[in-house]
Amino acid sequence: MFKEDEGKEILTTEDLQVLLVGNRFKLDCNHYATPGHNFANTIVIISLGGGKIKTQCSECYQGY
């Protein structure tokens, strides 16, 4: 499941899918997403640095 790289655990896309599928998330854009559901919003995860992230759906994402 996890690989180690320089002491840090690394998740694969498959690992992330197992963690996310079936859960409902309220995104920072105030929309909801349920990964694995046929009508789910696409989740965009933006790394802001310093361990912080921002989440948006594909409808609200405007890029950087």
Amino acid code (one letter) for 53: I
Is it the case that residue 12 has pLDDT exceeding 60? Answer: yes
pLDDT in tens, 15-63: 989 999 989 999 999 999 998 887 777 889 999 999 899 999 988 988 7
Query: Would you place residue 64 in the very low, low, confident or very high pLDDT band (cuts 50, 70, 90)?
Result: low
Q: What is the pTM of this model?
A: 0.72
Task: Report the alpha-carbon distance of residue 23 to residue 34 in Å, rounded.
Answer: 6
The set of residues, in sequence order, having a beta carbon less than 8 Å from that of 6 and lying 6+ positions away, is none
